[in-house]
Amino acid sequence: MTAKQPDPAFSAASAASVWQAGWLAGARRCPSPNIGARPAGVAINLVVIHSISLPPGQYGGDEVQRLFTNTLDWDAHPWFSQIRSLQVSAHFYIRRTGELWQFAPVQARAWHAGASSYEGRPNCNDYSIGIELEGLEGGLFEDAQYATLAALCRALATACPIRAVAGHEHIAPSTTPAAALTGRACAAPCKIFIGVSHALMRRRNRSGPHQGAGRVSTADE
Q: In the chain, what are the domain boundaries?
A: 12-207
* pLDDT tens sequence across 137-150: 888 999 999 999 99
* pLDDT tens sequence across 6-46: 344 455 445 445 899 999 999 999 999 999 999 999 999 99
Q: Minimal CA–CA distance to 169: which of 110, 100, 221, 105? A: 221
* pLDDT tens sequence across 79-98: 999 999 999 999 999 999 99
Q: Which strands form 164-167's sheet, in the order they lie side by side?
A: 28-29, 100-102, 92-94, 128-134, 46-52, 164-167
- Interhelix angle 192-207/143-159, rounded to 10 degrees, is 20
How confident is the model at residue 14, as a pLDDT? 52
Cite the active site residues.
132
* pLDDT tens sequence across 142-185: 999 999 999 999 999 999 999 999 998 889 876 543 344 344 33
Q: How confident is the model at residue 129 (pLDDT cuts 50, 70, 90)?
A: very high
Read off the pLDDT of each residue in 196-212 and give the average, rounded to a whole number: 42
Which is more confidently placed, 48 or 137? 48
Taking the model in full, what pTM does it have?
0.78
What φ, ψ does residue 179 adopt, rounded to 5°? -65, -45
Q: How many CB atoms lie within 10 A of CB 190?
A: 11
Residue 40 CA to residue 87 CA, distance in Å, equals 24
CATH fold of 12-207: Lysozyme-like (3.40.80)
Provide the residue type at 56 as one letter.
Answer: P
- In this structure, are residues 111 and 172 in contact, taking their beta carbons and an 8 Å threshold? no
- Helix (H) or strand (E) run with residue 49 in it: strand 46-52
How confident is the model at residue 48, as a pLDDT? 94
121 forms beta bridges with 118
Residue 37 CA to residue 86 CA, distance in Å, equals 20
Q: How confident is the model at residue 1 (pLDDT cuts 50, 70, 90)?
A: low
Task: State the chain's mean pLDDT as an integer.
Answer: 79
